[in-house]
Amino acid sequence: MAALMKRLSKTEDPVERRNHWPKVRAELLSHEQGELAEVYPALSTSEATRDIVARHSQEAGQLKEAIAGVDDHDFASLAWGAAFEHLFTLVQQHVSEEENDFFPRAQEVIAEDQSKVILERYEVAKKAAKVPSH
């Protein structure tokens, strides 16, 4: 997904944007739905990771707003490119924070077998959340 987002951030071609945006949008939304349904509720059960849940909730709201911002613009407009670039930056920051802070801290409080169960349930929730895009 990162490679596709990078590609979209560099193009001004409205056809390419139109062709790829629905996949990016669906993937981002389903990823967040899966996390909100399965990953972060598990982290909310430990005092050591509750702050992560609050931070993620705030970031998830920002990501949804940024996605809506991209949706609000015509694929051929400069505004679409700017809105997508803003979204791309947020996604990169979010992924970095999850990989470098949230998930390492979560591994300290969640047993490996429980982590595997959460991952499986996340994948199911993510798949169920995939909806046709615009």
- Domain of residue 42 covers 22-129
Is 111 in contact with 50 (CB distance < 8 Å)? no
Which residue, chain included where needed, has tokens 């046709």?
A: 132
pTM of the model: 0.88
Is 8 in contact with 21 (CB distance < 8 Å)? yes
Tens-digit pLDDT string for the chain (134 aa): 889 999 999 999 999 999 999 999 999 999 999 999 999 999 999 999 999 999 999 999 999 999 999 999 999 999 999 999 999 999 999 999 999 999 999 999 999 999 999 999 999 999 998 855 44
Q: Per the domain annotation, does 66 fall within a domain?
A: yes
**How many domains does the chain divide into?**
1
Q: Per the domain annotation, does 14 fall within a domain?
A: no
Q: Per the domain annotation, does 125 fall within a domain?
A: yes
Q: Distance between CA atoms of 119 and 132, rounded to whole angstroms?
A: 23
Q: How far is CA 63 from CA 85, 89, 92, 110, 117, in A?
A: 12, 10, 11, 26, 26
Q: Per the domain annotation, does 31 fall within a domain?
A: yes
